Amino acid sequence: MMKIAVAGTGYVGLVAGVCFAEKGYQVMCVDIDEKKVEMMRQGISPIYEEGLEELMQKNNARGTLHFTTDYVEAYRDADAIFIGVGTPEMPDGSANLSYIATVSRQIAETVEKDCLVVVKSTVPVGTNDKVEQFIRDFLVHDVKVEVASNPEFLAQGTAVHDTLHAARIIIGTQSREAEETLKRIYEPFGLPIVSVKRRSAEMIKYACNDFLALKISYMNDIANLCELVGADITDVARGMSYDERIGARFLNAGIGFGGSCFPKDTKALKFLAREHGYQLKTVEACVDVNSAQKTRLFEKARERMITFSGLKAAVLGLTFKSGTDDLREAPSIDNLKLLLAAGASVYAFDPKGQERAKELFPQGKHPGGGTMNYVSSATEALEGAHICFVFTEWPQIREVAPGTFKEKMHTPLVYDGRNLYQPAQMKAAGVEYYSIGR
């Protein structure tokens, strides 16, 4: 059975490694953090992702999944090395490739047999060409190394399912041998494989993510117009969803997209286009709409309130979406900064994101006079609150009955960024209710 090494144990690398182990491969996952590696050896996942920890424990026990900080041990006799390290956003919107470069150098200096290096990280078009040349420049042993592109399309919250039951596997190669090796690796998955050239595979990743981001920003733009003309965005979306050319997904209006992919990838493609003397006007508009959308409800609330100073503000939901503990680019972050700076006493609830939130917003007093507090339930956050913001569509939040806002809050004033409640029901319950596009 083929030996697979995986560089990086974030969302991309860890999920890929666990799923390869589930298919019976001998997998060695590499990370520089000894504490994190020890935790994973014990079957504890560093990220919350449904089904991930169970598969980690299962494959740890049967000996197909291993974790190490020793990249030499992992890479030297691997048949394939998958790179799943981060490519964070630089201040100018470009992708930071320093982690890719570090792993590439390590691979070049340690591989002792022919192997295929597969880049799963999202990288600008042409990066794989550079990675291949970089590895060959620094090779220590007389071996053949080829580089392939294999972008991931997992969604946080459903990452394991998305990997094991993907709509398609995209592979980008420059030789028949590399193509056949990757096809052989994915054969046990039994999924459709789309085989293209490397640069096309790199572009497919950006084109898909940016198209979905465009769809979200378009619906938010239409929602904002619906408010002005008296239409209801939920009715509009329902009518649109029956059109097969449009599809039913990504039509929900709200307070914008967050996470580790859409914000970063839209900016990266915008930067790439500019670098080549081209302006992607649609993507640039998408970025602008999303940036303004995140704080749209706060601006509405500021018009309604004299001050936030000394008021208790309930915040329901912190993560950028339900099903994950990830706060990267979450709309809640922008709003919490504004609320705390305005002197509000924030009481926040999120079933999975509170520990990560504490790293950004420690409990206690903040500059501007606001205080940050974390509570164990939505109803506890609402107790005596003067205003409530809904930022994430968790089931535990969706299940709060309209009457509960009236019963628990000092002033039943709710700003819902996920359109979880029916305006008529909230009004009937005596709640002053504001949502998006309705």
Q: Active-site positions?
A: 261
Residues sharing a CB contact under 8 Å with residue 415, sequence separation 6 or more, in sequence order = 297, 298, 300, 301, 387, 388, 389, 390, 434, 435
Give the residue among 68, 75, 90 at the shortest CA–CA distance from 9.
68
A 10 A CB-CB count for 360 gives 14
Cα-based distances in Å from 133 to 14, 70, 181: 26, 24, 20
Q: What CA–CA distance (Å, rounded) separates 169 from 355? A: 34
Q: Is 260 in contact with 11 (CB distance < 8 Å)?
A: yes
DSSP at 261: S
What does residue 28 show for φ and ψ, rounded to 5 degrees? -120, 115
Collapsing DSSP to helix, strand or coil, 301 comes out as helix
Q: Is 410 in contact with 381 (CB distance < 8 Å)?
A: no
What does residue 117 show for φ and ψ, rounded to 5 degrees? -100, 125
Residue written as tokens 């898909």? Answer: 208
Q: What CA–CA distance (Å, rounded) separates 299 from 56? A: 44
Strand order from edge to edge, sheet including 371-374: 364-365, 371-374, 345-349, 312-316, 387-390, 413-416, 432-434
